[in-house]
Amino acid sequence: MWGTRFAKTGDVESGSSTSRPLYPVMLESPELRWSFIRKVYSIISLQLLLTIAVASVVVTVRPVAHFFVSSGAGLALYIVVIILPFIVLCPLSYYYQRHPVNLLLLTLFTTSLAFAVGLTCAFTKGEIILESAILTAVVVISLTLYTFWAARRGHDFNFLGPFLFGAIMVLIVFAFIQILFPLGRISYMIYGGLASIIFCGYIIYDTDNLIKRYSYDEYVWAAVSLYLDIINLFLSLLTIFRAADN
């Protein structure tokens, strides 16, 4: 995919020595880096397909969603489903370079997060979900192409790391305030807008890391980072549209 987008890089599969580097100060082989990038995006594509499949089942099979909101056991299980992806991230952060344990943990992480996304979408109008999904796809593709274009011209986005970390801390505090002291529909829209901007920044930042900094054994962690950016951007846009609709 990316090999055809940037035709001047040469034939990645054939290992052509005429391949141009992805960025000006690139030291390793462009063929190996392109192979790594294709591997990461293949994993992300499978994660998104699994997310769509699991979330679709949760949304369409109505008794599943109603069970989680209509009983005490369901609510307790809902809390477990919400925190399970964060629990799985702990061993995944340790075993992400060990095959096949890393892929098994990645599948569990993706499935649990997909279930949580499905429960979020279960009580949302179909047109709102579609609008959020389309806008997410457009933004992700646009920012990805922009980051690759910028990297080829020598731009570096590593400086975004501290700013994005500070912004995500503000967002977390904002979310806790919303839980303890709900501030109404406008505050939800502000939260969704801020989160959307932050995760747009993370897509650029993590794509830049994918191009320049991740090693070849870190393909699982690179996929997890970008997958989380995409899912969080979708949920942020969903928050905005739901608040506007209400």
Tens digits of per-residue pLDDT, 22-70?
A: 877 677 788 888 999 999 999 999 999 999 999 998 888 878 777 777 7
Confidence of residue 73 (pLDDT cuts 50, 70, 90): low
Q: How far, in Å, CA of 79 to CA of 21, rounded?
A: 46
Q: How far, in Å, CA of 42 to CA of 120, rounded?
A: 26
Assign residue 21 a region: left if phi > 0, alpha if psi is -120 to 50, beta otherwise? beta
Q: Is 226 exposed, middle or buried (0-12, 13-18, 19+ CB in 10 A)?
A: buried
Query: Cis omega (within 30 of 0) on the bond before 30?
Result: no
Cα distances (angstroms) measured from residue 100 to each of 38, 45, 87, 160, 226: 19, 19, 19, 33, 21
Given a contact cutoff of 8 angstroms between Cβ atoms, the answer to whether 196 and 236 are in contact is yes
Residue type (1 letter), 121:
C
Given a contact cutoff of 8 angstroms between Cβ atoms, the answer to whether 92 and 106 are in contact is yes
Summarize pLDDT for 189-238 with one digit per residue, the tens. 888 999 999 999 999 999 999 998 888 889 999 999 999 999 999 999 99
Q: Is the pLDDT of residue 165 over 80?
A: yes
Task: Give pTM, 2 decimals.
Answer: 0.86
Q: How far, in Å, CA of 233 to CA of 203, rounded?
A: 9
What average pLDDT does range 143-155 have in this prediction? Answer: 93
Q: How far, in Å, CA of 68 to CA of 53, rounded?
A: 19
Q: Which tokens sit at 172? A: 């977390």
What average pLDDT does range 67-77 have in this prediction? Answer: 72
Domain ranges (residues) in the chain:
2-245
Q: Give the number of other Cβ atoms within 10 Å of residue 96's Cβ.
A: 22
Write the CB contacts of 240 (distance below 8 Å, at least 6 apart in sequence).
Answer: 188, 189, 192, 193, 196
DSSP H or E run through 230: helix 219-245
Higher-pLDDT residue of 2, 143 = 143
pLDDT of residue 19: 61
